[in-house]
Chain A
Amino acid sequence: MAQAGVIKGTVPAAGSVERSMDGRISRIRLFTCIGLVAVWEIIATLGSYGILYNDVVPHIWNIVIAVGYELISASFYRDLGMTFAAHSVGFICGSAIAVAVGIWLGTNKLIREAMLPYLNAIGSTPKIIFLPIIFLMFGVGLESKMAKGALSAFFPVVFTTTLGMMLINPVLIRVGRTFNLNKWQMITKIYMPAMVNPVITGFRLGVAITIIGVLVAELKFSDGGLGYRLGIYYEQFEIAPMYAVILLIFALAAAANTGMTKLQDRVNRHMAPTTSKGKKARASASGGLGVVN
């Protein structure tokens, strides 16, 4: 491409410039990865001679072996199942309530103005402070993790839904009125499609924050789940398995986020210019919400 451009005596096409930029970005990422692995291995080697962080940083191959053990252990899948159950039930309950409340707040200015200070205050508080209350109310088992998950999911979804409801372009509603839409048609043909995008944004944030919420509850006080597993390995000073669980949780959370991002891009494919791959819209939607877990 670039060569053809030179032969024709023209400036290289924008596409090829972008591609060489992409190439440089992947090279920087690769070198960062190699650098981190090298630093890690140096620290691990120093540790095994008792010089630095003795036994705290295991060799990477030990972690890889531990990951393998986790993946063939039945108890890992039991914990995974518990975390998954707590996450999905918590997320579904929390976000369903949040969508309903968000629509209500979005349409009712009086209630919104009255409630927003409270929501902002609680929304920007780390929800971890409510853990003791949740344990007292729901016990140590799965129910308390579900409740924590629901609490975590609620805030990002309620904020994006309320905002989305408020920001529906008023001219679209006027268009509906001039075409004599009845109330039901207004909801199904204008409000609902206009709300899909902000609600999906809320779901994406909600899924990520619910993972954190559930893990924190499991780490603190529980009888199962990936957070519990992590805590046990830590307490027993089983360092390589501990890292293995961290890695697996990281991979699962990243996969969940990628899945939600793909879903959002699919839903948004008509909403923003395709060239920016929706990145800009997402960044602005997730920024400045003041949601702290």
Chain B
Amino acid sequence: MADILQIKNVSKTYDADGDNPVHALDGVDLNIAEGEFVSIIGPSGCGKSTLFNIIGGLIDDHDGEVLIDGREVDGAHKDVGVVFQEESTFPWRSTLDNVAFPLEVEGIDKAEREETARKFIQLVGLEGFENHFPAQLSGGMKQRTAVARTLAYEPRIMLMDEPFGALDEQTRMLLGDKMLEIWAALNQTMLLITHNITEAVQLSDRVVVMSYRPGIIKEIIPVDLPRPRTSEVIATPEFGTYVGKLWTLLREEASRGMAEAEASIAAR
């Protein structure tokens, strides 16, 4: 399949002219095929959030290019739907109104946008909670509301920054299964930023391993586990092999990151 997203030689330095420039990303090249599920994994401080913000159009002043279907992306883009790590549902809106939000903004009439919203609420498994407000929902339900809201925007690429990072391990495994169901149903390109190795292997076709600062792509591991896949795949020896391989790659980066973080605290 053709590449839907091309990241070409993307670099980003924060505070470039200041005293403490931070090289967050350094020459990142990555192509994502249409319909592919790719995870980007790396230690804290590897620039994965920066990459997320660049692809999502929230950071504009970077070097290199981000192309969708060969055209350069400038600012937030209709083809890229974003799900944030933090709770991002609107507390004053019901689940239905939250999910219908992007359609409301586009001026789609009420009946039509609610119909679309209900479809995606069902897809993320929240039917029956249409009229609940975020304060009445669990953390996992709130994140699924946010996923449904972004799906309702009908982007071609779903870009997610640790959407289930704040949830407990078991909930996250089950929501991983849910994401795979959604992915299979919609044939959507999925790009997941994570620091969770099992989550990356459970879900992805390829796992992109990033290095600690400056963030470069250290290696890309194709995950050759059978599809359709469920979280039960973690019981297989092949799964363990992938997890071990990724940890070997990440261990050095993570310990370098930890040492630098501790040194900077000591220097304060």
List chain A positions with a Cβ less than 8 A from chain B. Answer: 169, 171-172, 174-175, 177-181, 185, 189-190, 193-194, 196, 270-274
Contact B90–A178 (Cβ < 8 Å): no
Query: Contact size class for B?
Result: 20 to 34
Contact B135–A178 (Cβ < 8 Å): no
Kindly state the separation between the CA atoms of A196 and B90 in the bound complex, as whole angstroms. 13
> In the complex where A171-B84, A174-B58, A271-B135 touch, is A179 in contact with B101 (Cβ < 8 A)?
yes
List residues of chain B with CB within 8 A of the CB of A169.
86, 88
Query: What does DSSP make chain B's interface, helix, strand, loop or mixed?
Result: loop
Kindly state the separation between the CA atoms of A185 and B102 in the bound complex, as whole angstroms. 11
Per CB-CB distance, the 8 closest pairs between chain A and chain B, nearest first, are A270-B133, A178-B82, A171-B86, A193-B92, A179-B102, A171-B88, A178-B76, A175-B88
Q: Tell whether B81 is near chain A: CB-to-CB under 8 Å.
A: yes
Q: Tell whether B71 is near chain A: CB-to-CB under 8 Å.
A: no
Contact A193–B56 (Cβ < 8 Å): no
> In the complex where A171-B86, A178-B57 touch, is A272 in contact with B135 (Cβ < 8 A)?
yes
List residues of chain B with CB within 8 A of the CB of A172.
88, 90
Partner of B92, one of A171, A177, A196, A273: A196
Q: Tell whether B164 is near chain A: CB-to-CB under 8 Å.
A: no
Kindly state the separation between the CA atoms of A196 and B105 in the bound complex, as whole angstroms. 20
Q: What are 5 pairs between A and B in contact, CB < 8 Å?
A: A174-B58, A175-B82, A175-B84, A181-B105, A270-B134
Question: Residue among B105, B134, B136, B153 with the most chain A CB within 10 A?
Answer: B105
Kindly state the separation between the CA atoms of A174 and B92 in the bound complex, as whole angstroms. 17
> In the complex where A189-B105, A271-B135, A273-B135 touch, is A178 in contact with B92 (Cβ < 8 A)?
no
Q: Tell whether B91 is near chain A: CB-to-CB under 8 Å.
A: yes
Contact A270–B135 (Cβ < 8 Å): yes
Closest to B86 in A: A171
